Chains A and B, each alone.
Chain A
Amino acid sequence: MTDSLPYIVAKYNYWLYVILMMIGLYAMIAKNNLIKKLVGMNIFQTAIILFYVSIGYKTDATIPIIQNAHGGHDAHAAVIHAADYINPLPHVLMLTAIVVSVATFGVAMALAVRIYQRYQTLEEDELRMRISEE
Protein backbone atom coordinates (compact mmCIF):
# COMPACT_ATOMS: atom_id res chain seq x y z
CA MET A 1 0.00 0.00 0.00
CA THR A 2 2.76 2.44 0.91
CA ASP A 3 4.47 1.68 -2.40
CA SER A 4 1.42 2.23 -4.52
CA LEU A 5 0.34 5.51 -2.91
CA PRO A 6 2.78 7.85 -4.72
CA TYR A 7 2.01 5.94 -7.91
CA ILE A 8 -1.69 6.75 -7.51
CA VAL A 9 -1.10 10.36 -6.46
CA ALA A 10 1.03 11.07 -9.55
CA LYS A 11 -1.75 9.81 -11.82
CA TYR A 12 -4.82 10.66 -9.73
CA ASN A 13 -6.52 12.39 -12.67
CA TYR A 14 -6.79 9.11 -14.57
CA TRP A 15 -8.22 7.40 -11.51
CA LEU A 16 -10.95 10.00 -11.23
CA TYR A 17 -11.90 9.67 -14.90
CA VAL A 18 -11.93 5.90 -14.79
CA ILE A 19 -14.25 6.00 -11.75
CA LEU A 20 -16.52 8.56 -13.44
CA MET A 21 -16.51 6.58 -16.67
CA MET A 22 -17.43 3.38 -14.86
CA ILE A 23 -20.34 5.13 -13.11
CA GLY A 24 -21.63 6.08 -16.55
CA LEU A 25 -21.04 2.60 -17.96
CA TYR A 26 -22.82 0.99 -15.02
CA ALA A 27 -25.82 3.27 -15.52
CA MET A 28 -25.93 2.37 -19.20
CA ILE A 29 -25.79 -1.35 -18.47
CA ALA A 30 -27.87 -1.77 -15.35
CA LYS A 31 -30.52 0.95 -15.30
CA ASN A 32 -33.96 0.10 -16.53
CA ASN A 33 -35.16 3.56 -17.49
CA LEU A 34 -34.07 4.91 -20.87
CA ILE A 35 -33.57 8.46 -19.56
CA LYS A 36 -31.31 7.14 -16.81
CA LYS A 37 -29.33 5.31 -19.49
CA LEU A 38 -28.96 8.59 -21.35
CA VAL A 39 -27.74 10.31 -18.20
CA GLY A 40 -25.20 7.50 -17.83
CA MET A 41 -24.08 8.07 -21.41
CA ASN A 42 -23.61 11.77 -20.69
CA ILE A 43 -21.53 11.00 -17.57
CA PHE A 44 -19.42 8.68 -19.71
CA GLN A 45 -18.90 11.42 -22.30
CA THR A 46 -17.97 13.92 -19.61
CA ALA A 47 -15.34 11.52 -18.28
CA ILE A 48 -13.81 11.21 -21.75
CA ILE A 49 -13.83 15.00 -22.19
CA LEU A 50 -12.11 15.54 -18.84
CA PHE A 51 -9.60 12.84 -19.71
CA TYR A 52 -8.66 14.54 -22.98
CA VAL A 53 -8.40 17.99 -21.43
CA SER A 54 -6.16 16.67 -18.65
CA ILE A 55 -3.83 15.10 -21.23
CA GLY A 56 -3.19 18.58 -22.59
CA TYR A 57 -2.14 19.99 -19.22
CA LYS A 58 1.48 20.86 -18.51
CA THR A 59 2.83 21.96 -15.14
CA ASP A 60 3.71 25.67 -15.00
CA ALA A 61 2.12 26.35 -18.37
CA THR A 62 -0.66 28.79 -19.18
CA ILE A 63 -3.72 28.66 -21.43
CA PRO A 64 -3.00 28.28 -25.16
CA ILE A 65 -3.37 31.94 -26.04
CA ILE A 66 -0.11 33.60 -27.03
CA GLN A 67 0.66 36.41 -24.62
CA ASN A 68 1.58 39.92 -25.78
CA ALA A 69 0.49 39.09 -29.31
CA HIS A 70 -1.08 42.54 -29.62
CA GLY A 71 2.09 44.44 -28.77
CA GLY A 72 3.15 45.28 -32.32
CA HIS A 73 5.97 43.73 -34.31
CA ASP A 74 8.48 43.57 -31.47
CA ALA A 75 6.32 41.13 -29.60
CA HIS A 76 5.98 38.94 -32.67
CA ALA A 77 9.71 38.57 -32.83
CA ALA A 78 9.82 37.10 -29.32
CA VAL A 79 10.44 33.38 -29.33
CA ILE A 80 7.50 31.25 -28.24
CA HIS A 81 8.40 28.26 -26.09
CA ALA A 82 6.12 25.29 -26.41
CA ALA A 83 6.62 24.44 -22.74
CA ASP A 84 4.95 27.72 -21.69
CA TYR A 85 1.57 26.91 -23.21
CA ILE A 86 -0.60 23.90 -22.62
CA ASN A 87 -1.37 21.62 -25.53
CA PRO A 88 -4.19 23.16 -27.64
CA LEU A 89 -5.03 20.01 -29.57
CA PRO A 90 -7.13 18.18 -26.92
CA HIS A 91 -9.02 21.42 -26.27
CA VAL A 92 -9.93 21.70 -29.94
CA LEU A 93 -11.08 18.10 -30.12
CA MET A 94 -13.18 18.41 -26.97
CA LEU A 95 -14.63 21.80 -27.93
CA THR A 96 -16.33 20.23 -30.91
CA ALA A 97 -17.06 17.02 -28.99
CA ILE A 98 -19.02 18.90 -26.32
CA VAL A 99 -21.32 20.58 -28.83
CA VAL A 100 -21.72 17.40 -30.84
CA SER A 101 -22.55 15.50 -27.65
CA VAL A 102 -25.26 18.06 -26.85
CA ALA A 103 -26.68 17.66 -30.36
CA THR A 104 -26.61 13.87 -30.26
CA PHE A 105 -28.15 13.97 -26.78
CA GLY A 106 -30.96 16.01 -28.33
CA VAL A 107 -31.51 13.29 -30.93
CA ALA A 108 -31.52 10.66 -28.19
CA MET A 109 -34.12 12.66 -26.25
CA ALA A 110 -36.22 12.99 -29.40
CA LEU A 111 -36.13 9.21 -29.82
CA ALA A 112 -37.13 8.79 -26.16
CA VAL A 113 -40.09 11.16 -26.69
CA ARG A 114 -41.21 9.14 -29.72
CA ILE A 115 -40.91 5.90 -27.77
CA TYR A 116 -42.97 7.37 -24.95
CA GLN A 117 -45.62 8.65 -27.37
CA ARG A 118 -46.03 5.18 -28.83
CA TYR A 119 -45.65 2.88 -25.81
CA GLN A 120 -46.48 5.22 -22.89
CA THR A 121 -43.43 4.05 -20.96
CA LEU A 122 -39.67 4.43 -20.82
CA GLU A 123 -38.97 1.40 -18.63
CA GLU A 124 -37.11 -1.19 -20.62
CA ASP A 125 -38.86 -4.31 -19.29
CA GLU A 126 -42.31 -2.80 -19.86
CA LEU A 127 -41.23 -1.74 -23.34
CA ARG A 128 -40.16 -5.27 -24.14
CA MET A 129 -43.51 -6.57 -22.89
CA ARG A 130 -45.51 -4.10 -24.99
CA ILE A 131 -43.48 -4.76 -28.11
CA SER A 132 -44.04 -8.52 -27.77
CA GLU A 133 -47.77 -7.93 -27.22
CA GLU A 134 -48.18 -6.24 -30.59
Chain B
Amino acid sequence: MKFLGFIVVCLTGALLLYGTGDFSNWGDPNSPASLHLSNEYIERALEETQVPNLVTAVLADYRGFDTMFETAVIFCAGLACFLLLRDFREKKQRFYRHIPTGVILHVKNSKKVLPVGREFEHIDKDWVPSDLIIKTVCRILVPFIQIYAMYVVAHGDFSPGGGFQGGVIFGSSLILIAISYDLKILVRRIKEKVFGIFAAVGVLIYVGIAALCMPMGGNFLDYSKLAPLLPGDPHHVRALGMLGVEIGVGIAVTAVMVIIYINIVSEGRLEEGL
Protein backbone atom coordinates (compact mmCIF):
# COMPACT_ATOMS: atom_id res chain seq x y z
CA MET B 1 0.00 0.00 0.00
CA LYS B 2 2.80 2.37 0.93
CA PHE B 3 4.75 1.57 -2.20
CA LEU B 4 1.64 1.96 -4.36
CA GLY B 5 0.91 5.29 -2.68
CA PHE B 6 4.47 6.43 -3.32
CA ILE B 7 4.18 5.60 -7.02
CA VAL B 8 0.86 7.44 -7.30
CA VAL B 9 2.31 10.47 -5.55
CA CYS B 10 5.41 10.48 -7.76
CA LEU B 11 3.29 10.26 -10.91
CA THR B 12 0.98 13.08 -9.78
CA GLY B 13 3.95 15.21 -8.80
CA ALA B 14 5.66 14.61 -12.14
CA LEU B 15 2.47 15.57 -14.00
CA LEU B 16 2.10 18.75 -11.95
CA LEU B 17 5.76 19.66 -12.47
CA TYR B 18 5.35 19.08 -16.19
CA GLY B 19 2.33 21.38 -16.06
CA THR B 20 4.32 24.21 -14.48
CA GLY B 21 6.06 24.64 -17.84
CA ASP B 22 3.03 26.56 -19.07
CA PHE B 23 2.96 28.83 -16.04
CA SER B 24 4.48 32.28 -16.11
CA ASN B 25 7.75 32.91 -14.29
CA TRP B 26 7.95 33.80 -10.61
CA GLY B 27 7.08 37.46 -10.12
CA ASP B 28 6.25 38.13 -13.75
CA PRO B 29 4.08 41.29 -13.81
CA ASN B 30 2.48 40.12 -17.06
CA SER B 31 1.25 36.80 -15.76
CA PRO B 32 -2.37 36.09 -16.76
CA ALA B 33 -3.53 36.31 -13.14
CA SER B 34 -2.38 39.94 -12.89
CA LEU B 35 -3.72 41.18 -16.21
CA HIS B 36 -7.48 41.29 -16.00
CA LEU B 37 -9.55 41.80 -12.88
CA SER B 38 -6.80 42.64 -10.42
CA ASN B 39 -5.75 45.76 -12.35
CA GLU B 40 -9.30 47.06 -12.11
CA TYR B 41 -9.26 46.46 -8.37
CA ILE B 42 -5.89 48.16 -7.84
CA GLU B 43 -6.65 51.22 -9.93
CA ARG B 44 -10.24 51.86 -8.90
CA ALA B 45 -10.72 50.52 -5.37
CA LEU B 46 -9.41 53.63 -3.59
CA GLU B 47 -11.57 55.94 -5.66
CA GLU B 48 -14.69 53.79 -5.30
CA THR B 49 -14.43 52.70 -1.67
CA GLN B 50 -11.94 55.10 0.02
CA VAL B 51 -10.20 52.07 1.52
CA PRO B 52 -6.44 52.01 0.91
CA ASN B 53 -6.06 48.37 1.94
CA LEU B 54 -7.07 46.67 -1.29
CA VAL B 55 -7.32 43.26 0.34
CA THR B 56 -10.02 44.53 2.69
CA ALA B 57 -11.76 46.39 -0.11
CA VAL B 58 -11.96 43.27 -2.25
CA LEU B 59 -12.75 41.03 0.72
CA ALA B 60 -15.61 42.99 2.23
CA ASP B 61 -16.97 44.90 -0.72
CA TYR B 62 -16.30 43.50 -4.18
CA ARG B 63 -16.41 39.92 -2.96
CA GLY B 64 -18.72 40.53 -0.01
CA PHE B 65 -20.99 37.62 -0.85
CA ASP B 66 -18.08 35.19 -0.79
CA THR B 67 -16.90 36.45 2.59
CA MET B 68 -20.41 36.29 4.01
CA PHE B 69 -20.70 32.62 3.21
CA GLU B 70 -17.15 31.95 4.44
CA THR B 71 -18.27 33.38 7.77
CA ALA B 72 -21.30 31.10 7.61
CA VAL B 73 -18.96 28.15 6.94
CA ILE B 74 -16.94 29.03 10.05
CA PHE B 75 -20.14 29.28 12.09
CA CYS B 76 -21.22 25.88 10.78
CA ALA B 77 -17.82 24.41 11.72
CA GLY B 78 -18.24 25.65 15.30
CA LEU B 79 -21.76 24.24 15.36
CA ALA B 80 -20.54 20.89 14.01
CA CYS B 81 -17.84 20.68 16.72
CA PHE B 82 -20.42 21.44 19.39
CA LEU B 83 -22.92 18.90 18.09
CA LEU B 84 -20.30 16.18 17.63
CA LEU B 85 -18.59 16.49 20.98
CA ARG B 86 -20.68 18.25 23.60
CA ASP B 87 -21.52 15.88 26.41
CA PHE B 88 -23.91 17.18 29.06
CA ARG B 89 -23.63 14.23 31.42
CA GLU B 90 -22.33 15.19 34.86
CA LYS B 91 -18.98 13.76 35.78
CA LYS B 92 -19.26 11.45 38.75
CA GLN B 93 -15.91 12.02 40.41
CA ARG B 94 -14.12 15.21 41.23
CA PHE B 95 -10.67 15.95 42.53
CA TYR B 96 -9.83 18.90 44.73
CA ARG B 97 -6.58 20.05 46.28
CA HIS B 98 -6.49 21.64 49.70
CA ILE B 99 -4.10 24.49 48.96
CA PRO B 100 -2.49 25.06 52.41
CA THR B 101 -1.62 21.42 52.98
CA GLY B 102 -1.49 20.10 49.41
CA VAL B 103 -3.75 17.18 50.31
CA ILE B 104 -5.77 15.89 47.36
CA LEU B 105 -9.41 15.05 47.96
CA HIS B 106 -11.31 12.61 45.79
CA VAL B 107 -15.07 13.35 45.93
CA LYS B 108 -17.11 10.43 44.65
CA ASN B 109 -20.54 11.87 45.36
CA SER B 110 -21.43 13.99 42.34
CA LYS B 111 -23.91 16.07 44.36
CA LYS B 112 -21.24 17.33 46.75
CA VAL B 113 -19.41 20.37 45.42
CA LEU B 114 -16.67 22.01 47.44
CA PRO B 115 -16.33 25.80 47.27
CA VAL B 116 -13.36 26.58 45.04
CA GLY B 117 -11.35 29.55 46.21
CA ARG B 118 -8.48 30.20 48.58
CA GLU B 119 -8.89 26.91 50.36
CA PHE B 120 -9.59 24.39 47.62
CA GLU B 121 -8.80 24.26 43.94
CA HIS B 122 -9.97 21.98 41.18
CA ILE B 123 -7.54 19.49 39.80
CA ASP B 124 -8.07 16.73 37.26
CA LYS B 125 -6.79 13.19 37.12
CA ASP B 126 -4.13 13.98 34.56
CA TRP B 127 -3.81 17.72 34.94
CA VAL B 128 -2.24 19.82 37.68
CA PRO B 129 -2.56 23.58 38.17
CA SER B 130 0.01 25.59 36.21
CA ASP B 131 3.02 27.19 37.74
CA LEU B 132 2.72 30.65 39.33
CA ILE B 133 5.13 32.13 36.76
CA ILE B 134 3.08 30.88 33.83
CA LYS B 135 -0.13 32.22 35.35
CA THR B 136 1.32 35.65 36.10
CA VAL B 137 2.97 36.10 32.72
CA CYS B 138 -0.17 35.06 30.86
CA ARG B 139 -2.35 37.27 33.04
CA ILE B 140 -0.20 40.26 32.09
CA LEU B 141 -0.09 39.32 28.41
CA VAL B 142 -3.78 38.64 27.81
CA PRO B 143 -5.11 42.23 27.91
CA PHE B 144 -2.38 43.40 25.54
CA ILE B 145 -3.17 40.61 23.11
CA GLN B 146 -6.84 41.58 23.23
CA ILE B 147 -6.14 45.27 22.65
CA TYR B 148 -3.91 44.32 19.74
CA ALA B 149 -6.69 42.13 18.31
CA MET B 150 -9.14 45.03 18.45
CA TYR B 151 -6.56 47.26 16.79
CA VAL B 152 -6.11 44.72 14.02
CA VAL B 153 -9.88 44.63 13.44
CA ALA B 154 -10.35 48.40 13.61
CA HIS B 155 -7.43 49.19 11.30
CA GLY B 156 -8.30 46.54 8.75
CA ASP B 157 -9.24 49.26 6.28
CA PHE B 158 -5.90 51.02 6.39
CA SER B 159 -3.22 48.49 7.25
CA PRO B 160 -2.81 44.72 7.11
CA GLY B 161 -5.54 43.25 9.25
CA GLY B 162 -9.24 42.69 9.36
CA GLY B 163 -11.95 40.66 10.97
CA PHE B 164 -10.52 37.21 10.36
CA GLN B 165 -7.06 37.99 11.71
CA GLY B 166 -8.27 40.06 14.64
CA GLY B 167 -10.84 37.42 15.53
CA VAL B 168 -8.22 34.69 15.57
CA ILE B 169 -5.91 36.80 17.77
CA PHE B 170 -8.72 37.57 20.22
CA GLY B 171 -9.77 33.93 20.29
CA SER B 172 -6.20 32.84 20.96
CA SER B 173 -5.99 35.23 23.93
CA LEU B 174 -9.01 33.47 25.45
CA ILE B 175 -7.45 30.10 24.67
CA LEU B 176 -4.29 31.32 26.46
CA ILE B 177 -6.37 31.84 29.61
CA ALA B 178 -7.67 28.30 29.30
CA ILE B 179 -4.15 26.91 28.84
CA SER B 180 -2.36 28.92 31.51
CA TYR B 181 -5.06 28.65 34.17
CA ASP B 182 -7.70 26.05 33.68
CA LEU B 183 -10.49 25.36 31.25
CA LYS B 184 -13.00 25.70 34.08
CA ILE B 185 -11.88 29.25 34.84
CA LEU B 186 -12.45 30.35 31.24
CA VAL B 187 -15.86 28.67 31.09
CA ARG B 188 -16.83 30.16 34.45
CA ARG B 189 -15.79 33.69 33.41
CA ILE B 190 -17.47 33.53 30.01
CA LYS B 191 -20.31 31.05 29.78
CA GLU B 192 -20.36 28.58 26.93
CA LYS B 193 -23.77 29.98 25.97
CA VAL B 194 -22.20 33.42 25.46
CA PHE B 195 -19.75 32.02 22.93
CA GLY B 196 -22.59 30.37 21.06
CA ILE B 197 -24.59 33.59 21.02
CA PHE B 198 -21.55 35.60 19.88
CA ALA B 199 -20.87 33.20 17.01
CA ALA B 200 -24.42 33.68 15.78
CA VAL B 201 -24.41 37.44 16.44
CA GLY B 202 -21.26 37.89 14.38
CA VAL B 203 -22.83 36.25 11.33
CA LEU B 204 -26.05 38.20 11.96
CA ILE B 205 -24.18 41.53 12.05
CA TYR B 206 -22.73 40.75 8.65
CA VAL B 207 -26.04 39.62 7.15
CA GLY B 208 -27.88 42.44 8.92
CA ILE B 209 -25.65 45.17 7.47
CA ALA B 210 -25.94 43.53 4.06
CA ALA B 211 -29.72 43.24 4.29
CA LEU B 212 -30.12 46.77 5.68
CA CYS B 213 -28.94 48.08 2.31
CA MET B 214 -32.07 46.70 0.64
CA PRO B 215 -34.76 48.79 2.43
CA MET B 216 -32.48 51.80 1.92
CA GLY B 217 -32.94 51.37 -1.81
CA GLY B 218 -29.83 49.51 -2.86
CA ASN B 219 -28.81 45.96 -3.63
CA PHE B 220 -27.79 43.41 -1.03
CA LEU B 221 -24.35 44.47 0.34
CA ASP B 222 -24.46 47.88 -1.39
CA TYR B 223 -22.98 49.87 1.50
CA SER B 224 -23.19 53.22 -0.28
CA LYS B 225 -26.94 53.30 0.40
CA LEU B 226 -26.29 53.42 4.16
CA ALA B 227 -25.09 57.03 3.94
CA PRO B 228 -28.17 58.61 5.64
CA LEU B 229 -27.70 56.35 8.68
CA LEU B 230 -24.01 56.99 9.26
CA PRO B 231 -22.32 60.16 10.45
CA GLY B 232 -19.38 61.75 8.69
CA ASP B 233 -18.32 62.18 5.12
CA PRO B 234 -20.68 60.31 2.75
CA HIS B 235 -17.65 59.33 0.64
CA HIS B 236 -16.43 57.14 3.47
CA VAL B 237 -19.67 55.26 3.93
CA ARG B 238 -18.38 52.19 2.10
CA ALA B 239 -15.36 52.09 4.41
CA LEU B 240 -17.65 52.31 7.45
CA GLY B 241 -19.86 49.54 6.06
CA MET B 242 -16.79 47.36 5.63
CA LEU B 243 -15.69 48.12 9.18
CA GLY B 244 -19.07 46.99 10.50
CA VAL B 245 -18.89 43.80 8.49
CA GLU B 246 -15.35 43.13 9.70
CA ILE B 247 -16.44 43.55 13.32
CA GLY B 248 -19.14 40.94 12.70
CA VAL B 249 -16.57 38.58 11.18
CA GLY B 250 -14.21 39.17 14.12
CA ILE B 251 -16.87 38.34 16.71
CA ALA B 252 -17.91 35.19 14.88
CA VAL B 253 -14.32 33.97 14.39
CA THR B 254 -13.41 34.64 18.05
CA ALA B 255 -16.38 32.69 19.35
CA VAL B 256 -15.93 29.79 16.95
CA MET B 257 -12.21 29.42 17.72
CA VAL B 258 -12.98 29.17 21.44
CA ILE B 259 -15.92 26.79 20.89
CA ILE B 260 -13.74 24.46 18.81
CA TYR B 261 -10.92 24.58 21.37
CA ILE B 262 -12.96 24.00 24.53
CA ASN B 263 -14.93 21.17 22.97
CA ILE B 264 -11.91 19.33 21.59
CA VAL B 265 -9.57 19.52 24.59
CA SER B 266 -12.20 18.40 27.09
CA GLU B 267 -13.98 15.90 24.84
CA GLY B 268 -17.12 18.00 25.13
CA ARG B 269 -17.42 18.02 28.92
CA LEU B 270 -15.86 21.46 29.51
CA GLU B 271 -14.44 20.19 32.80
CA GLU B 272 -11.11 18.50 32.39
CA GLY B 273 -8.65 19.27 29.66
CA LEU B 274 -5.76 21.58 29.09
Contact present for A66 and B20 (CB under 8 Å): no
Contact present for B58 and A110 (CB under 8 Å): no
Cβ-defined partner of A56 (8 Å) among B10, B34, B160, B256: B34
Answer yes or no: A59 CB below 8 A from chain B CBs.
yes
Answer yes or no: B201 CB below 8 A from chain A CBs.
no
Cβ-defined partner of A58 (8 Å) among B34, B37, B85: B34
B44 — nearest CB in chain A belongs to which residue? A80
Q: In residues 69-100 of chain B, which contact A (Cβ within 8 Å)?
A: 70, 73-74, 77-78, 80-81, 84-85
Answer yes or no: B46 CB below 8 A from chain A CBs.
yes
What are the residues of chain B within 8 A of A120 when measuring CB–CB?
none
Interface of A is mostly: helix
The number of chain B residues with a CB under 8 A from chain A is: 67
What are the residues of chain B within 8 A of A64 when measuring CB–CB?
42, 53-55
What are the residues of chain B within 8 A of A61 when measuring CB–CB?
29
Cβ-defined partner of B73 (8 Å) among A80, A89, A100: A100
Bound Cα distance from A27 to B167, whole angstroms: 31
What are the residues of chain A within 8 A of B261 when measuring CB–CB?
106
Contact present for A110 and B85 (CB under 8 Å): yes
The number of chain A residues with a CB under 8 A from chain B is: 58
Instruction: Give the segment of B11-19, B129-137, B183-191 that binds chain A.
Output: B11-19
Bound Cα distance from A63 to B162, whole angstroms: 15
Contact present for B162 and A111 (CB under 8 Å): no
Contact present for A99 and B9 (CB under 8 Å): no
Bound Cα distance from A19 to B25, whole angstroms: 18
Q: In residues 94-108 of chain A, which contact B (Cβ within 8 Å)?
A: 95-96, 98-100, 102-104, 106-107
Cβ-defined partner of A113 (8 Å) among B55, B57, B264: B264
- Whole-angstrom distance between the Cβ of A106 and the nearest chain B Cβ: 4
What are the residues of chain B within 8 A of A102 when measuring CB–CB?
168, 257
Contact present for A18 and B17 (CB under 8 Å): yes
Answer yes or no: A114 CB below 8 A from chain B CBs.
yes
Contact present for B9 and A25 (CB under 8 Å): yes
- Whole-angstrom distance between the Cβ of B264 and the nearest chain A Cβ: 5
Contact present for B84 and A92 (CB under 8 Å): no
Contact present for B16 and A58 (CB under 8 Å): no
Contact present for A110 and B84 (CB under 8 Å): yes
Q: A65-B53, A92-B63, A99-B74 are in contact. Are A87 and B33 (CB under 8 A)?
A: yes
20 A–B pairs (Cβ distance < 8 Å), ordered by A: A10-B26, A11-B21, A14-B17, A15-B17, A25-B9, A29-B5, A29-B9, A56-B38, A58-B34, A61-B29, A64-B53, A66-B54, A83-B29, A85-B42, A88-B41, A88-B58, A99-B167, A103-B256, A106-B77, A110-B84
Contact residues of A with B, CB < 8 Å? 7, 10-15, 18-19, 21-22, 25-26, 29-30, 54-61, 63-67, 69-70, 76, 80-83, 85, 87-92, 95-96, 98-100, 102-104, 106-107, 109-111, 113-114, 117
